[in-house]
Amino acid sequence: VYWVTEGERFSELVGQGFEYSYQVEETIYQGKSKYQKIEILRNPYFGRMLILDGAVQVTERDEFIYHEMLTHIPLFLHPVPKKVLIIGGGDGGTLRRVLEHPVEEAVMVELDEEVVKLSQKHLSSISDSAFDDKRTRLVFGDGAKFVAETKEKFDVILVDSTDPVGAAEILFSEEFYGNCSQILSKNGLLVTQSGSPLCQAKELNKAFGNLRKVFPICRVYFCTVFTYPGTLWSFALGSKELVPEEADLSAIEKRFEKLGLKTKYYTPQIQKSCFILPKLVQEIVS
Ligand code: SAM
């Protein structure tokens, strides 16, 4: 992936001869951490955008779709999620949605402290007050190392990482999923962002194949994210006991009402329908 921030435009290469191009109204931050290039730009339509190594991570305008779907599907599938682990998620959008549930603790293991610091400073509309919540525990380090070494148990693990290249590659491996399964409770489950079925079919196929080597129940669900390559975006779910299509929608609706969640994309009806896959996705994960 390359980018060309020529003053007034940023382009993300998403496929051969095909790029998403954004007008840059303001360059809020540009720099490099130990791990990656970090840019925060403002676009007239999407608002503030976080870009890591030239790949758009989140924008103020459409972040809710991805964060609601990564979080609410597993946290409503699980009957009583008390302890949640987030791997990655530096912008805080996933953490914020986890904390909308009556969890006891949300542990977030993010490799790059710079991403969190810059997100707190320039993208606070995405994390809202999540980083200050007393249930939040922030750990800076490699998520793969954390799950291999921790003695703690979790009900749900959410992998909100960059795409499977560089430091994030290990987060799509059989070894990582095996370690995650070890630290999940008896009916625990894992969901990972698993990329674009249109532009990253082989990454999705590989990640799902690795998940299936570890978890007895594996599914893919999807949503559409305007600013991600190919727009159609997948999540891969690995579960030790809970079966998505057996979710009790009326019980979930009651929990949803009781929480009074103000979602803009997720509804309890989507809890099951998002698992109905277009043919091209079925073929990639079959
Ligand atoms: N929603 C975005 C997406 O789907 O591409 C991801 C957002 S979040 C900013 C991605 C985070 O994953 C980055 O902050 C990056 O530092 C973090 N990350 C990458 N590899 C990691 C690893 N091995 N352990 C923990 N965090 C990692």
DSSP secondary structure of 35-101: S-EEEEEEETTTEEEEEETTEEEEETTTHHHHHHHHHHHHHHHSSS--EEEEEE-TTSHHHHHHTTS
Say how many Å lie between the CA of residue 117 and the centre of ligand 1: 14
Predicted local distance difference test score (pLDDT) of residue 148: 98
Question: Which of 53, 126, 162, 231 to probe ligand 1 with, by most ligand atoms within 8 A of CB?
Answer: 162
Predicted local distance difference test score (pLDDT) of residue 189: 98
Question: Which of 111, 127, 157 to probe ligand 1 with, by most ligand atoms within 8 A of CB?
Answer: 111
Predicted local distance difference test score (pLDDT) of residue 165: 85
Predicted local distance difference test score (pLDDT) of residue 1: 46
Predicted local distance difference test score (pLDDT) of residue 16: 80
Predicted local distance difference test score (pLDDT) of residue 243: 98
Distance CA(90)–CA(166), nearest Å, equals 16
pTM of the model: 0.96
- pLDDT lower than 70: segments of the chain: 1-7
User: Could you tell me if 192 and 207 are in contact, meaning their C-beta atoms sit under 8 angstroms apart?
Assistant: yes
The residues that are catalytic are 160
Distance CA(114)–CA(130), nearest Å, equals 17
Predicted local distance difference test score (pLDDT) of residue 7: 60
Say how many Å lie between the CA of residue 195 and the centre of ligand 1: 13
